[in-house]
Amino acid sequence: MVGLRHTPSVRVGFALYLGYLVVFFTTWVVNGVDYTRIGEDAQTTKLWYAVPTLLGCAFLFVAVTALGWWRDVLFDRTRCGPWWIWFLPAVVTLIIVMNFLSVDAGRLSPDLVLWLTLGGIGVGFGEEIATRGSLLVGLRSSMSERRAWLISTLSFAALHIPNALFGLPAAVMPTQVALTFIMGSALYVMRRMSGTLLLPIVLHGLWDSSLFAMTATGVAPLVLQFSVYPLAVVCSLAVLGGMKRALPKHHERSELR
């Protein structure tokens, strides 16, 4: 495995995922998070959105660098899927732009803009590296690509279950987890179609920050954003159903199982 200091494994992939969770939720406990109030102002955006994700990013940056996994975490050697699935990131980008345009700019303080930006960087980099990055690399070492997609996406959805311990109504949590699974599949599709995790990192961060910017300025979510979910299902089925066998050498064997 040229360029890899440490052989990818499921155990190490989950160790990084769990390490990110420990850093993130420990910060939430210390900062006394109320989930329902995240993003309502600059202070909650800083302490409950930006700081936890940036600390998680710092942990992942050190760990992935020590392992020497960056190439495999960020890039696939092959791309997968029909041309029309590029509509998915196009629609996501359109919704992000519309979200930002709907924000009342007069209510955005410089501090709020700063922490929304840093939080977007943190959540995009942190959650993507933890799940569709290092965890996916670890899973690919010993299982098929479809199974690696399923487990990494379930793990992404599971990131949101503890929200119920920090103020999210328990009745809402299953719906949030289900929608997050679908969005996680969409982000996986974006990785496979583009051949890089950089596209999911950017769009994930912008998506979350656009929603928090709307929350901070009292703007209700746009109905259009829910169109992403059925499109994500269709695109995921197209990619998973027609997945090519050609993958980086260190997980070619697992894809053929």
* pLDDT at residue 77 is higher than 60: yes
> Which of 1-5, 133-137, 163-167 shows the lowest per-residue confidence on average (mean pLDDT)?
1-5
Structure tokens at 62: 């050190």
Closest of 215, 213, 216, 190 to residue 203, by C-alpha = 190
Q: How far apart are CA 12 and CA 15, in angstroms?
A: 5
Instruction: State the pLDDT at residue 33.
Output: 96
* 143-166 per-position pLDDT tens digit: 999 999 999 999 999 999 999 999
* 19-75 per-position pLDDT tens digit: 999 999 999 999 999 999 998 899 999 999 999 999 999 999 999 999 999 999 999
Measuring CA to CA, how many Å separate 162 from each of 62, 86, 150, 159, 232? 25, 33, 20, 7, 24
Category of 10 on φ-ψ map: left (φ > 0), alpha (ψ -120 to 50) or beta: alpha
Q: What is the pTM of this model?
A: 0.91
* pLDDT at residue 252 is higher than 80: no
What residues does each domain of the chain span?
A: 10-255
pLDDT-based confidence at residue 3 (cuts at 50, 70, 90):
low
Instruction: State the pLDDT at residue 1.
Output: 42
* 169-185 per-position pLDDT tens digit: 999 999 999 999 999 99
Instruction: State the pLDDT at residue 253.
Output: 39
Q: What is the mean pLDDT of the chain?
A: 92
